[in-house]
A and B are shown apart, each in its own frame.
Chain A
Amino acid sequence: MRGRTIITLALFSFFVVATGVIYRRSLGISQARALRTLEERRTALEAQEAALDGAIRDASSRARLAPIAEQQLGMRIPPESLVIIIPRPAGAVRQP
């Protein structure tokens, strides 16, 4: 082969390799961006879940419900004489 052909081939090879490297790098960065977005979304959803769990816990807690039950529904804590604890029959299996 003549010298010019060799140089042309070398330049072309360099171009192909460089294009491949840049393409691969661009792809990696775009995937990293997508990954970051997904991680942020996951974190946001987890935080939202924790917030909702907390809100449910707070709303269903005795501290929140008891005053409402007493003031709005007129409910009272029964005296213990009105609480009947039924003994479990012999041989009964405790339910999970």
Chain B
Amino acid sequence: MIKISRVGIVHGAFLCFAVALVGRAAWVQLAQTDRWRARARGQQFSAAELPAIRGAILDASGAVLVESRPMVRLAVAPTEVKEPAALQTALRHAGVPEATVRRALDRNRKWVEVPGMYLSSDVADAMALRGVHPTPALQRVKPQTDGLRNLLGTTDDNGRAVGGVEAALDSLLRGTPGRRAMLRDSRGTRLATPEENATDAVPGHTVVLTLHAGLQDIAERALGDAVTQMGASGGDIVVLDPHTGEIRALASRRAGQAASGATALTEPYEPGSTLKPFIAAALFERGRVQMTDSVNTYNGVYTINGRTIRDVHKAPAMSFAEVIRFSSNIGIVQFAERLTAREQYEALRDAGFGMSTGIPYPSESPGRLYPVSQWSRQSGASLAMGYELSVTPIQLAAAYAAFANGGELLEPRLLQEVRGPDGTPIWKAERRVVRRIMSERTATAMRELLREVVSEGTATSADLATFEVAGKSGTARRTASDGSGYAVGSYTASFVGLFPADQPQYVILVKLDNPSGAYYGGRTAAPVTKIVLEAAIAARDAALDRTRLADAPKRRAPSQASQADSVRAAGVATAEAEAIAPAYVVELGTSPAPARVVVSARPVPDVRGLSMRVAVRELHKAGFRVQVMRGRGEEQQPAAGTMLRAGSLVRLMAN
């Protein structure tokens, strides 16, 4: 029998233990490798999503309108806090509300979220303390003005786009989040490790809009002031470059505050008389009318198909040009009869009415233009006066751009360029012609008619002293909100202008909803246009090409033909009012015509020998315009003492 000593038993036990240990180790290391490796990774590493910085939105000049910046959110675990006094000081210093500071120090609470986001530099002291848990977050910095804020939309707390351009271009702006495995140290602090694969976040694209922040601000201020002063319920201003279709400004107000979105794109309205030039263009284009053609305007009251149409400017007859100049409903209805229903419909459809413009903006409205098959006996007359259809301000501005650019309907654009995360342009918008809707000859003729509307017609309030403005005013009745038809005393006043008249750089549309008092477009919307133009001319940053403006032809004397028009011959005052829809037998009181300014001749002061600055000031004081020219010869032209009308041009020679 084998005798086993006690030492042998101990050795055997140790050996068994060692074998078991090695066997277990081998089992863990070899057979369960993947399982234990995964468990170790779970303890030592944590996956972190790297938020992508949302792309910036710039204006046409490159100024930042909206951008994202990294911030931190704070949470406090009161039970972990070791230095409550230091934490209290740090949180107060960062501007955390006192109630939140008290909660953060309350040891009965386990977790306190500090509301809001903070610059990490502002809360650096707090972040260094035990018990404070910062979380990185991105804050979307909004633009300065309410109008721009609402137009561009916003993002919610989770960074998701809400409305406006943010929502429309979200796929470009949002970027792609990255992922990264973080090493956890013994204290739970997460550290980046180069040994682990990481996918970097790709920032969103930068989007450059066609808007011009300076002009946008001018438009928003002018609209805000106008809505307040005129007691209007709202309004819109659109400024468009007629040669490229780029939207330069888009201001909207509703109920005394900035509209919740771009209502100039989403809310259609009946345009009233601002539509008449398109009927006139269709007639002229098809050779159905000459400028000198006249129609009987029946001293302002005319009945057609049992419907009474009235003119504010009552005259026995008017020429084609006068019909536009004085916005005669009777005249345009009779001229429109020279077009077939299909021709009239096609003219309006070709101008882009009834169709979306394609601007990348949520819920853009196409407006409404019924096909001929749905017309009533009254439809031809109604459309000629700008009723029975609805257009958005942007559609109307884009259509007017055709008058300015020689007859082409351009696609209006809000997006100018998209830049990649590294700043290189990856897409640029190009001028896109939708179709030619009139010949250059017709466009030129229409511009001339529109110029006369401002210089002598219903919209003289938009007239400038130095530059000529062309345009058309409109006053349209508004439907009641309960759908019971047109509301009594409720109007949309509007004006669409081209500036300057000869080589237009802007198409500017001003629309006011429900202005109180003098509600005519020529009296309400036209002066707002003038305010916007004056501010734009005075501003350095209003998207005006001053070189072209300096070369633009200046004010001309009234044409002889217009001086001897039949309206004046009939003794009708040139009131600044245009015809409203005659379909409703509502007597619309004609506002008294403003007293005409008598401009008397005055002598040109002698400014020879004065410094240029003083000379210009003296001439302005005397009521003259001044042009400084390089050259030699007489120091001033015309010579001192010459009798000139106020507003005449005096040239100064700078040697």
Contacts and interface: CB of A to CB of B under 8 A. Distances in A.
Given A45-B121, A47-B119, A84 B217 contact: no
A77 B547 contact: no
A88 interface: yes
Given A80-B534, A81-B625, A85-B550, A54 B120 contact: no
B70 A43 contact: yes
A74 interface: no
Contacts of B534: 77-80
Contact of A50 (B69, B136, B465, B537): B69
B108 to A, nearest CB: 31
B546 interface: yes
A18 interface: no
B465 A58 contact: no
Nearest to B647: A81
A33 B361 CA distance: 46
**Closest 9 A/B residue pairs (Cβ):** A81-B465, A50-B69, A44-B120, A32-B191, A87-B550, A85-B550, A62-B217, A80-B537, A44-B121
A53 B625 CA distance: 41
Contacts of B630: 89
Contacts of A35: 191-192
A29 B185 contact: yes
Interface in B625-655: 625-630, 647
A64 interface: yes
A62 B218 contact: yes
Given A35-B192, A43-B120, 17 more contacts: A35-B191, A39-B192, A47-B69, A50-B69, A51-B119, A57-B64, A61-B213, A61-B217, A62-B539, A62-B541, A63-B144, A63-B220, A79-B465, A80-B464, A81-B464, A84-B626, A87-B547
A43 to B, nearest CB: 5
Nearest to A88: B547
A80 B119 contact: no
Contacts of A77: 534-535, 538
A30 to B, nearest CB: 10
Contacts of A44: 119-121, 124
B538 A51 contact: no
Given A44-B121, A62-B217, A63-B217, A86 B628 contact: yes
B516 interface: no
Interface centre among A35, A45, A78, A84 (most CB of B within 10 A): A84
A77 B416 CA distance: 30
A69 B480 CA distance: 42
A47 B465 contact: no
Contacts of A46: 69-70
Given A32-B191, A78-B538, A80-B537, A87 B70 contact: no
B119 A32 contact: no
B180 to A, nearest CB: 12
Interface residues of B, number: 51
A47 B70 contact: yes
Contact of B192 (A36, A51, A62, A81): A36
A19 interface: no
Contacts of A79: 465, 534
Contacts of A53: 64
Contacts of A57: 63-64, 144
Nearest to A49: B69
B537 A83 contact: yes
Interface in B217-254: 217-218, 220-221
Contacts of A81: 464-466, 620, 625, 647
A75 to B, nearest CB: 11
A32 B194 CA distance: 9
Interface residues of A, number: 37
Contacts of B63: 57
A48 interface: yes
A78 B539 CA distance: 10
Nearest to B629: A87
A85 B546 CA distance: 7
Contact of B71 (A47, A82, A86, A87): A47
A94 to B, nearest CB: 8
A46 to B, nearest CB: 7
A80 B121 contact: no
A31 to B, nearest CB: 9
Contacts of B533: 80
A66 interface: yes
B112 interface: no
Contacts of B629: 87
Contacts of A61: 144, 213, 217
Contact of B465 (A40, A62, A80): A80
Given A78-B538, A82-B620, A32 B192 contact: yes
B386 interface: no
14 contacts: A29-B185, A46-B69, A50-B67, A53-B64, A54-B64, A61-B213, A80-B534, A80-B538, A81-B625, A83-B466, A83-B538, A84-B616, A84-B627, A87-B547
Interface string A5-47: 0000000000000000000000001001101100110011111
Interface string B198-231: 0000000000000001100110110000000000
Given A29-B191, A81-B625, A84-B628, A47 B547 contact: no
B482 interface: no
B165 to A, nearest CB: 18
A35 B182 CA distance: 13
A80 B120 contact: no
B197 interface: no
B144 A36 contact: no
A32 B193 contact: yes
A35 B136 CA distance: 17
